[in-house]
Amino acid sequence: MSFFLGVDMSCYTTSCAVCDESGGIIYDRRLPLRVPEGKKGLRQQEMVFLHIKQIRDIFPEGYSFAAVGGSTRPRDIEGSYMPVFSACESFSRVAARVAGAEFYPLTHQHGHIMAALIGKSMPDSFIALHVSGGTTDAVSVEMRDGIITGIEQIGGTADIAAGQFIDRIGVMLGLPFPCGPELEKLAKNGTPVKLRADVRGTEISFSGPESAVRRMIEKGMSKEDAAATVQECIAEVLTKMILNCVDMTGKKDILLSGGVMSNRKITETIKAGTGAEVSERRYASDNACGLAVLARNIFLNKTKGE
């Protein structure tokens, strides 16, 4: 029996996952990077140090790996780079070499999209929304034999990402960083204020809405109402962008992926407006499961053709 390893070191989570020959996830460990109370994030050198320290605590033992998929870049576009992914590539390559396994350089975005596909049935050509702490992308995805063969950006943000919108307002409200889970809890008891959705075709903007929410908080808006307002704005803006991407491409099949898609209110609103398939909640946040599955699919297709 062969096994397939996925390794991901994102900005705020160290992740390892293993899938078997059937494609089932049999090991999934994640450790968030600890952000000191009151801080708005970590510097890249701090992240690299913490990943190197944490990976030893979650690395799976006792498996015979045939292939390793590691995230070597944030996205599948030219110039995409962050130091944390250099650390991930180095570790993944060494792990593959020691195991005598194939190594496949993938991206954090590959991992999110593939994880969202677990348990889902999608055609080989579809639109994926990747929304996380630092990324808000609408992409056109092409697949063949369970392998992602192409990712082309067709929409996105002109300024801050949806996750940054959440974190910036969350920090202002005194929430721990990253702020998504706590902001979602607050929003359950809040009443949203409708903001102007800043959408120009397939390009969106959250800097204007962020400034508007800040002003309302300064004038006495409750934490709960502020959280609910952020959620509703993100859901409305992303829904409009997706519909414009559908009009532009003619593709009607949509997949929602990324950490922000673990927010139930946001995903329910987008799904109602677009008919999108939603990542299982456990596969929405940063993880290495999609990378393990993709490494398995690449390896099995390669050996089938030999």
For residue 56, the tally of other CB atoms under 10 A from its CB is 9
Indicate the residue type of 236: E
Q: How confident is the model at residue 133 (pLDDT cuts 50, 70, 90)?
A: confident
Answer for the pair 242, 267: CB distance below 8 angstroms, yes or no.
no
pLDDT score, position 305 = 66
Average pLDDT over residues 59-73: 97
For residue 149, the tally of other CB atoms under 10 A from its CB is 10
Q: How confident is the model at residue 65 (pLDDT cuts 50, 70, 90)?
A: very high
Return the C-alpha torsion angle 165, 171, 177, 178, nearest 10: -20
Q: Using CA atoms, how far apart are residues 218 and 156, in angstroms rounded to an integer? A: 29
Q: How confident is the model at residue 185 (pLDDT cuts 50, 70, 90)?
A: very high
Q: Which domains does the chain have, with CATH numbers?
A: 3-119+283-304 (3.30.420.40), 156-279 (3.30.420.40)
